[in-house]
Structure 1
Amino acid sequence: MCGRYEFTLEDSEELRRVAELLEARYGPGGWQTGEIRPTATAPVLRTGEKKAQVELMRWGYALPHTLVINARAESVREKPLFRDAVAARRCVVPTAGFYEWDGDGRKYRFRLPGEGALYLAGLYEVREGVPCYCILTTAANPSMAPIHDRMPLVLTRRDLRPWLERPQAAAALLEREPPALEARPMDPQLRLW
């Protein structure tokens, strides 16, 4: 599961470029930076008329009585909720990393070694006039398995165009093990009581 990720600009020229494109399109502000939680408005990359474009979308498909923030990569082609999106509405969620908690409640940040940006595979749709996205997850690779049994479907920079533009390549990426990540434990937050 992926329930939090980070969109920060300090360590990544790529993420700063995403922010510049957002500002040119939407004006200053209007999206979150720092730790991104479900229902936040955040940037995603999707295929435009001639090339990929940056859009603001809300994280999570709002359904009656639930919010769907993740979808299992192994089953998206069969599930009615995701079948059309995986065929035609794939997106990329640009991040600086994502967070996961171990069984003891310790928080870890996961990043690609030596990279300022980490890209997550996603799907999007418009629900009740609101563009929204969910993040695809897959079985944990060896770098993630000690913390959790699932992880986001991480895309390399080379995977972005195939994921967005080529259905057959995207289908292959659904089945590929994500690259190794580095995990860093986060300092426990101050507890007042």
Structure 2
Amino acid sequence: MCRLFLWRQEENSKAVQKIMGEIHRKSPHKELSAIARPSKEIAYLLASEEGRTTASVGRWGFEIPTGKLIYNARQETTMSKGMFSGCFQNARCIVPAHSFFEWDKEQRCFSFSQKEAGLLYFAALYRRQGEDSEIVILTTHSRGEIEAVHHRMPLILDESKLRPWLFDTSASMLLLSQGSVSLKKEIIET
């Protein structure tokens, strides 16, 4: 599930401009790739100490001692796995994306995006590694349009659930078993 997604930082929407404005205030020359892959830098939203939602940049994937990169985490085991349970309590974040890609058994590529124009918001966790951050995206059982393509999908938060995900641990626990928005599926011809 989800090892490739699209982020168009140049888009002129209010949401994207707000996120990129915050990132550029912290890192004036930071540019992010339009195609996000594990181990690359991605934009993410997190709770600030002042109680605001802020944007930052981190590397997609938790590097473990063996050198392996864990870039997705199953929502159903988040609380029971030591690597993720502490992050769930104290370091929840959100990864914005325009779309994500999955391949079916015949290796056909599909793009999934909001039915109505707008961003997707993936529930995620982060951890600090020195001055840097590492991010893992939570996945869930597939629903709706993606079910015929792949058995897992990102845990997608409705825009009204972003603040509860970041600031309210009890609400976040409930959101682990909910989630998803209506998605538009398109086959990508290669």
TM > 0.5 between the two? yes
Amino acid at match of 2:176: L
Equivalent residue number for residue 5 of structure 1:
5
Equivalent residue number for residue 32 of structure 1:
32
Offset from partner CA, 1:112-170 (integer Å, 9 cap, x none): 11132111000000235531100000000022101000000001110100000000110
Equivalent residue number for residue 104 of structure 1:
106
Q: Is the 8 A contact 1:113 1:181 kept in 2?
A: yes
Q: Whole-Å Cα distance in 2 between the matches of residues 125 and 31 of structure 1?
A: 22
Partner SS for 1:81: helix
Equivalent residue number for residue 135 of structure 1:
137
Aligned residues: 187
TM-score (norm 2): 0.93
Amino acid at match of 1:25: K
Map 1:159-178 onto structure 2 (within 5 A). 159-178=161-180
Q: Is the 8 A contact 1:101 1:147 kept in 2?
A: yes
Map 1:1-193 onto structure 2 (within 5 A). 1-8=1-8, 9-10=10-11, 12-28=13-29, 30-50=30-50, 51-63=52-64, 64-127=66-129, 129-188=131-190
Check 1:109–1:11 CA distance in 2 against 1; reply closer, same or farther (3 A cut). Answer: farther
- Segments of structure 2 that go 5 or more residues without pairing to the other structure are none
TM-score (norm 1): 0.92
Amino acid at match of 1:99: F
User: Displacement, 1:176?
Assistant: 0.7
Amino acid at match of 2:105: G
Partner SS for 1:87: helix
